[in-house]
Amino acid sequence: MIEARIKELRRLIQVHNYRYYILDDPELSDAAYDHLMRELQLLEAQYPELITENSPTQRVGTAALSAFASVQHEMPMLSLSNAFSEAELQAFDQRLHDRLKLDEASEIEYIAEPKLDGLAVSLLYRQGQLAQAATRGDGTTGENVTQNIRTIAAIPLLLLGKDYPDVLEVRGEVIMPTAGFDAFNAQARAADQRTFVNPRNAAAGSLRQLDARVTAKRPLDMYCYAVGKVEGDAIAVTQSETLSKLRAWGLPINPKTKVVQGLHACLDYYQSISQQREKLPYDIDGIVYKVNHLAAQQQLGSVSRAPRWAIAHKFPAQEEMSRILSVDFQVGRTGAITPVARLEPTFVGGVTVSNATLHNMDEVERKDIHIGDTVIIRRAGDVIPEVVRVIIADRLANAEKVNIPATCPICDAEILRQEGEAIARCSGGLNCSAQVKQAIKHFASRKAMDIIGLGDKLVELLFDHDLVSNIADLYQLKAADIAALPRMGEKSSTNLLNAIEVSKKTQLHRFIYALGIREVGEATAKALAKRFTDLNDLIETTPEILQEIDDIGPIVAQRVYQFFQQASSQESIRELIAQGIHWSVIEANAIQKDEELPLANHRYVLTGKLSQFTRAEAKSQLEKLGAKVSASLSKKTTALIAGEKAGSKLKKAQALNLTVLDEAALYTLLH
């Protein structure tokens, strides 16, 4: 009798959760629901042997994690290409017509949904039970956040019905609704505690708590929008049918999702949601359109990390006016001197902005930026805020021209700027503490050695307390020294040392990238690891042999050669290997073959201002397609991509008789 009653209570609670969270049609009052939950809690307390992990009373664990485990996604979690204008959406629709061989009169059936501004996650169900949850991470590897996902009431621990597959992976977005965000911040302010800047940061921060009891107190929600791995027969023939199945199994689906016919219906949906945006219970930054028929999706396939059959139609970037109070010069890992505007704090794009990048002195001069100027600043999503233009009419009489200092603001070494380069650099090298700090941060970063928990602030702390002075020192840290640092302790020290130990097992291309060789990004590091499976062969090679690698020209070859010829570099590598850093012979699939990518063996240089991308975004998209993006021109350059007001590089490209592409040609190249 007791066991039967417990099972019935669990069934009733699951059904009423479904009606409340999925159907938005509750049958019980809150008090009646609480009565069912309380009865179940009392019975389970009396008969603990009858407790199961999927009981609704067991959503919150009691033990905090020491660190998140990594999860390898069996199917990559792809990102989306973006459209920022109606013309770009029309081009997307036309590309699909061409690839699907449809005539102009045929309208493609799309499914449209709001693009939620949260954190992408994957839920894995086995035999209908929630077995694992992971963040998207880099699309290939994420973090295991199962313990925290279980605390979100909208996510079922057990699927409803009987017709679900044995293995079902569901993708979706974890968010913090705006009402919950406002209430949480109000409580935090009342308790004189830290508040979150925006709901997206709040959702991400809440889901990445090592103690699930903290996550359970945060008002998180989730909407599912796709499936990943499915074992068994296909669950549907369209995206919309897939979502209907997920909803029937108890998973939350955004009620604003809609099937639309053709481009004009997409644009109508975009306008409709735009008008509702301020009243929606969550933050969005655009609309996602997907081809509805799954067979067509499969026919269209993917490019690099983005599907051809889907696109995000982003809302316009948000702009506000501010005033430049001062300009500082930051020193990067390679000595690059970057001017940064310090602004009157201005709320734009969901955050308060106090700093904006000025990129380099060419940009400062082109935009005629003075200290004291009133400027337009722009922020789109996670893009670093930038100064768009100066309001010349509001310029003060005493506005001060921005001049680059003659010496480094950190180490006082001479600042040099090579002819033809937009970037000036500190000549201090390893004598410049700023460059050393940045080198350590780069070494520990996710795409390099991936030392979890070793963020920028902790690197600064370790360096400023003389615990590290180079990358090799990381592997000689002592627990007691770390624990004695401000805001650290025994547990934090143990977690960091465990993460450092885990990082010792890596891959050769990650290690090469982590060394921070100038102009050696991920793609070049992979090319080097593919050519030189033995690090000693790479150390002993010559510039001539390096140039035999398809995506390496004379400048990069010289940079690599000079780096490995330096005694300090060789000493650092010896120390790191002695500390236990190792890798296996290149694994199959560890490095994607260049010939599989559409822009393999192509080299591009970017210059000037692009209207639809930042240069960093353009570089990233080109590299995803296999291209090498260099900072300097050479005879091996495939083409110069020139935006507005291109400078000396355009003249040099013309002198070398190189191909020059405009932004429209770049857009075509990427799609």
Q: Which helix (H) or strand (E) holds 31?
A: helix 30-46
Question: d(Cα 499, Cα 507) in Å, to the nearest integer?
Answer: 16
Burial label, 628 (beta-carbon count in 10 A; 0-12, 13-18, 19+) = buried
Which residue(s) pair with 346 in the sheet?
353
* Single-letter amino acid, residue 528: L
Q: The tokens of 157 are what?
A: 């621990």
* Single-letter amino acid, residue 280: L
279 a catalytic residue: no
Pairing, β 167-175 against β 258-261: unpaired
Question: d(Cα 480, Cα 482) in Å, to the nearest integer?
Answer: 6
Neighbour count for residue 66 (Cβ, 10 Å): 12
Neighbour count for residue 585 (Cβ, 10 Å): 8
Q: Which helix (H) or strand (E) holds 4?
A: helix 2-17
Residue 339 per-residue DSSP state: E
Question: Is the separation of the CB atoms in 620 and 613 below 8 Å?
Answer: no
Q: Which helix (H) or strand (E) holds 56?
A: none
Question: d(Cα 600, Cα 593) in Å, to the nearest integer?
Answer: 9
Question: d(Cα 161, Cα 183) in Å, to the nearest integer?
Answer: 35
Pairing, β 119-126 against β 167-175: antiparallel
Output b/e per residue, 423-446; b: 16+ Cβ within 10 A. Answer: bbbbebeeebebbbbbbbbbbbbe
Question: d(Cα 583, Cα 71) in Å, to the nearest integer?
Answer: 19
Catalytic residue (choose from 7, 115, 290, 593): 115
CA angle 398, 404, 406 (to 5 degrees): 120
Q: Which helix (H) or strand (E) holds 381?
A: none
Give every CB contact of residue 43 below 8 A, 6+ residues apart in sequence: 2, 5, 6, 9, 50
Question: Is the separation of the CB atoms in 115 and 315 below 8 Å?
Answer: no
Question: d(Cα 221, Cα 202) in Å, to the nearest integer?
Answer: 12
- CA 410 from centre of chain: 30
**What residues are labeled active site?**
115
